[in-house]
Amino acid sequence: MSDSDDETQRTARLVAAWRAADRTLTRSPREATVGEALARLAEGPYDYDMDAPGDIYGDGVVAELERRVAELLGTQDAAFFPSGTMAQQVALRCWAGRTGNPVVALHPMSHPEMWEGEALSTVSGLRVVHPTTAARQMTAEEVGDVAEPFGTLMLELPLREAGFVLPTWEELRALVEAGREREAAIHFDGARLWESTVHFGRPLPEIAGLADSVYVSFYKSLGGLSGAALAGPREFVDETRVWRHRYGGQIFRQFPQALAALAGLERELPRLPSYVAQARTVAGALREALAKSGVPWSRVHPVEPHTHQFQVWLPYEPDRLTDAGLRQAEETGTVLFRRWSAGGPGLAVTEVDVTEPGLSWTESDVHEAVSAFVARI
């Protein structure tokens, strides 16, 4: 049996175990069947006229979703995109045209650098500079010290690969000011911006108002099917719609994605602050439990999560830890950790996500789950 066959079988076991578990901190999109996903989409009720005509090329329910996003973020307009990758490509390309400078200053751990196949240069003809390579948010001083002119400063809020970390509100304002002093447009990669209000202590319009444009996702925190939006000044958003069509994003019908996004705004958005608060409780209990568990070393990062997601690091091979979590789920019905990946020689890292299923967990529950997990390493 090949390695790919082994991995396929393990993935099937993992999904089956996650699906059958009666205690978990979150639910994975992989767990729902097609029928269950459709049933959830039909659940409603929606604050939308379900007897209205279906959407055609972005009207109807899609236009209503755009209106609500602009209202939530306090921007003049917003445009729906089938993917965040396309949305950001278009935003950065438009700013390059408007500023006359194709250079984008961003973090090397940001999504366009890590997960988009060098699309910024290959597809959009842009070039990047990195104010820092440190596994944290960049600083205003680092932005000011970039040795060459750049047309756009892109900030990923939160920076997922570094541990879903955010700057402080004061640091964010300083970053934006540093970009403006360099005469750059400011773009926020806000795929998970929705839950940043707790950390910043500011409402969404005040946060989004610092930037010239903002991208938000409908599935990463809101539980939608797919899709994203670009928000900003009306004239800019109109231009992004032209490029959306050129990039192949003018989809004939998108009502399932739009309805799922509206459901996420109605169901999940109000709950996100409670998820963040619970993530901080879970993280604290994990630190204590791992310290007492007998593992040689552990790290929960950040110490206090900035959002409802954070990292856990342990000094083992990732497959060993993934298999331990799999056995725990199969044998106890509890899912504490899911997949682990390599974080360096002899180190593994995993992401912990706390959503509605995790709200009922107590510190004692976390300690019990850690003990069961460590016993299976």
The tens digit of pLDDT for each residue in 273-296 reads 999 999 999 999 999 999 999 999
Could you give the CA distance from residue 77 to residue 213 in angstroms, rounded to a whole number? 10
User: 57: how many CB neighbours lie within 10 A of its CB?
Assistant: 12
The reported pLDDT for the residue numbered 36 is: 93
The reported pLDDT for the residue numbered 114 is: 96
pLDDT digits (tens, 9 = 90+) for 307-352: 999 999 999 999 999 999 999 999 999 999 999 999 999 999 999 9
Beta-strand pair 103-105/127-129: parallel
pLDDT digits (tens, 9 = 90+) for 145-187: 999 999 999 999 999 999 999 999 999 999 999 999 999 999 9
Please say whether the dihedral angle defined by the alpha carbons of residues 26, 30, 36 and 40, taken in this order, is positive or negative.
positive
Query: What tokens were used for 85?
Result: 């990758």
The reported pLDDT for the residue numbered 4 is: 76
pTM across the whole model? 0.96
Could you give the CA distance from residue 332 to residue 173 in angstroms, rounded to a whole number? 47
The reported pLDDT for the residue numbered 54 is: 87
CB 149 within 8 A of CB 103: yes
Tell me the sheet residues that pair with 341: 349
The reported pLDDT for the residue numbered 180 is: 98
Closest by alpha carbon to 158, among 147, 167, 149, 145? 167
The reported pLDDT for the residue numbered 6 is: 84
pLDDT digits (tens, 9 = 90+) for 216-265: 999 999 999 999 999 999 999 999 999 999 999 999 999 999 999 999 99
Output the CA torsion 114→117→122→123 (10° steps).
Answer: -100
Q: Is the pLDDT of residue 44 over 80?
A: no
Residue indicated by tokens 């231009």: 239
The reported pLDDT for the residue numbered 1 is: 60
Beta-strand pair 103-105/77-81: unpaired
Report the chain's mean pLDDT, rounded to a whole number: 96
Residues with Cβ within 8 Å of residue 69, at least 6 apart in sequence:
78, 216, 229, 231, 265
The reported pLDDT for the residue numbered 17 is: 97
Could you give the CA distance from residue 370 to residue 377 in angstroms, rounded to a whole number? 11
Phi, psi for 185 (deg, rounded to 5): -75, 150
pLDDT digits (tens, 9 = 90+) for 75-103: 999 999 999 999 999 999 999 999 999 99
Closest by alpha carbon to 41, among 193, 264, 233, 242? 264
Q: How many helices (H) and strands (E) does the chain have?
A: 15, 13
Q: Three-class SS of residue 21?
A: coil
**What element of type H or E holds 320?**
helix 318-332
The model's confidence at residue 5, banded by pLDDT at 50, 70 and 90, is confident
